[in-house]
């Protein structure tokens, strides 16, 4: 029985197709200034990389601190990594990692671009619901204010949502010394091992579990990226919901669909109904 709902923010509650256009537009503008390449050259590289991602998604992975922590294909904020890397390689640009982070921070959307049904998912499941995100609270909070202001009938619930917001969750940070979790497992349908020793993220989830005095089996975690959002709660025994988009890696969909503790949907309205059962 579900007693606690945890949900990612970026591209789970927000719409990746809406978010990508202004984000990529800003990144392309910055790359023009940085490299001196023409916009047509950068857009051609962008389209080439995106097309290859659809054919060979297994080639595109996010390496952080020496670990392959996630696929990059299902997330426009991660897709910029191989796209910008390919652009920067054209001009042999040094120190790419710092620049890639700056591209993300400078172009992170400031206006709402939410999927339909967000407020209902956050407020109508009749279960405690917390947003758990890698983003900083200061970046997420104004977007939630805008969302609730657009639906005034729900404004009295905003304070509860903000009080239940947990940011800077460190979902991508790997700690090999954290032996209570396996370092890696090769899951069915996945093309490489999945890393589980994400101590900071585990701590955020475990604190919420203890706060509500429940077992891991009583938790449902909702996210758009299995490795980043769902792997840690899944290995601990929670149920997981994968929110899909057209770029979601097929192996993530197949694994979650086939797992008895998994549910897959692109509709937040459908997920809200699922959580009521």
pTM of this prediction? 0.95
What distance lies between CA 97 and its chain's CA centroid?
Answer: 19
The SS3 assignment for 262 reads: strand
pLDDT tens, residue order, the chain (277 aa)? 899 999 999 999 999 989 999 999 999 999 999 999 999 999 999 999 999 998 999 999 999 999 999 999 999 999 999 999 999 999 998 777 788 888 988 998 877 799 999 999 999 998 999 999 999 999 999 999 999 999 999 999 999 999 999 999 999 999 999 999 999 999 998 999 999 999 999 999 999 999 999 999 999 999 999 999 999 999 999 999 999 998 999 999 999 999 999 999 999 999 999 998 7
pLDDT of residue 248: 94
- Domains located in the chain, CATH noted: 4-15+112-276 (3.40.50.1000), 17-107 (no CATH)
Which helix (H) or strand (E) covers residue 23, if one does?
Answer: helix 16-35
Instruction: Give residue 1's pLDDT.
Output: 81
CB neighbour list of residue 138: distance below 8 Å, 6 or more residues apart: 167
- pLDDT at position 74 is 92
What residues contact 132, with CB distance under 8 A and at least 6 apart? 6, 7, 8, 166, 169, 204, 205, 208, 221
- Say how many residues make up the chain: 277
- What's the half-sphere exposure (Cβ side, CA atoms, 13 Å) at 96? 18
CA distances from 198 to 42, 131, 175, 191, 244 (A): 35, 18, 6, 20, 23
């Amino acid at each position: 029985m579900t007693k606690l709902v945890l949900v990612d923010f970026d591209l789970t509650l927000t719409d990746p197709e809406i978010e990508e256009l202004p984000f990529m537009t800003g990144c392309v503008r910055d790359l023009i200034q940085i490299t001196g390449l023409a916009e047509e050259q950068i857009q051609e590289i962008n389209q080439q990389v995106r097309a290859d991602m659809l054919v060979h998604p297994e080639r595109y992975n996010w390496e952080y601190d020496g670990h392959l922590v996630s696929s990059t294909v299902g997330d426009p904020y991660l897709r910029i990594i191989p796209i910008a890397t390919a652009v920067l390689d054209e001009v042999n640009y040094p120190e790419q990692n710092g620049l890639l982070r700056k591209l993300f921070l400078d172009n992170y959307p400031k206006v709402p671009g939410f999927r339909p049904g967000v407020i209902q998912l956050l407020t109508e499941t009749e279960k405690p619901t917390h947003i758990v995100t890698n983003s900083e609270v200061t970046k997420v909070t104004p977007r939630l204010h805008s969302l609730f202001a657009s639906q005034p009938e729900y404004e009295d619930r905003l304070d509860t949502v903000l009080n239940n917001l947990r940011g800077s969750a460190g979902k991508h940070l790997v700690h090999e010394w954290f032996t209570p979790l396996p370092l890696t497992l090769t899951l069915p349908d996945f093309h490489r091992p999945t890393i589980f020793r994400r101590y900071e993220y585990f701590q955020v989830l475990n604190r919420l579990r203890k706060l509500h005095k429940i077992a891991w089996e009583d938790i449902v975690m909702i996210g758009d990226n299995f490795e980043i959002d769902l792997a840690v709660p899944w290995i601990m025994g929670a149920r997981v919901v994968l929110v899909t988009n057209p770029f979601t890696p097929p192996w993530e969909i197949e694994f979650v669909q086939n797992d008895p503790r998994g549910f897959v949907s692109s509709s937040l309205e459908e997920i809200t109904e699922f959580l009521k059962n």
